Structure 1
């Protein structure tokens, strides 16, 4: 499609109840009445979201895209391909949108700063059950919420994937989303990676102070088990980013085997600790490093 449009893009897979909640809030917040089209991009074998898209056609302008491959970035690239000239507000399928956010992104769309700016806003949290206090420092901004601090430099800030926007043409000029990253792949890193490329291309990140969106956080998304799984994926992302060199063993730097042994020993010793955070931290550090080590074989340039 070549007409300039403002769209709200939602990548989804197998989360019908949460998607319905998100669509309901988009309707209530007046997104459609302000000219936005909702685009649901479903990835994977299921086409269940089509039913919801059809149900909401009487409430808002809506389109449905299906991508066979599993992965959020596959779905988002399909949106870019179809709406190559659109202004795209990216939200998750589990958010509660506010009227203030709709107005902020509408104004950003009307400013038409193509090739110059991309946007993002704060993220509030709708939490099913608060996590353990000691776990807080290990949780990402998508779970704890985020708002730009008074002294925080917006040019060094990467917006959260549940609430940011850019022109499709700018994203396509940067190569689109990296389909090896994000939910369904590494689970992390997709939005930050493409926003880095936008900044490298000379675009300025603009923080929209009133564009608040609330992210639903179920208890199993802020549990120790979830955080440890995320630590492993963060390690994998680190391994992809870093160019390691030097003597290797079985395709990986030799020093990594020594460090893995040290961290494994710390983890074994921590099993006898009474403090749950001490046990958790040893597991976190070990899993992060093992994820890094897993990808280091592919990233080794020696």
Structure 2
């Protein structure tokens, strides 16, 4: 499980002091039940806009230490500051290389595509994903044992499989492809992607059942359970993709996991009422609403306030 990353409105209103508190609380909760989490490391304590590479490195290093002190596995998230400052692939290799030399535990790299954040276009030093992948592979090769995996969120199934096959032994590919996850997690005779997906927040019960089936080798059951969730996922992550968080919060409220539908910086308005109404129907069809009477009552009250015909 991952905490304090984009699902938690990181980069969309959640400030770093709050993210840090979230990481430490979540790590304590995980330890209390014998579990563990990974957590996002970014540069969002810096003011918006370009920064020097030394400032970016310092911000990353501060958050890396915080996450390690919390006992979580660090995920080196993409940095908007680095994307605005970098002039070549060498800039990325320099900043990340310094961090990897300093880390006391293996980290997970993060590659979030422009569909999720337009300010990250050209990350890793090139608009051509194949050239950017070369930079990532060079970075991993230069620091053996320091990278435990990479999370890839480009929504490109073929590209993910190709990169997965090029990774060194022991380095995992964590899929962030919320469109093609059933096939990527199932894998093929040359490997599979591990699941580190935003959509899991919306489909946790069937996803858990599907993964149990996969672990037991019941591939048909895995497919039958997980494939029907893709229709909901594609609606949830429809463009503008970065507002998928609004849909996740809406479903959490309808499901009774929280007592309000209010988000940081007013992001609950990021999706139209018609989009959310369709999402509720898809969730019901997929059996994702654990308390249907509660969900119905909340949906009726919400529909009245936003003017959606019932």
| Structure 1 and Structure 2 fold alike (TM over 0.5) | no
Name which structure has the greater RCO, CA cutoff 8 Å, separation 6+. Answer: 1
Larger radius of gyration: 1
TM-score by length of 2: 0.31
More strand by share: 1
More helix by share: 2
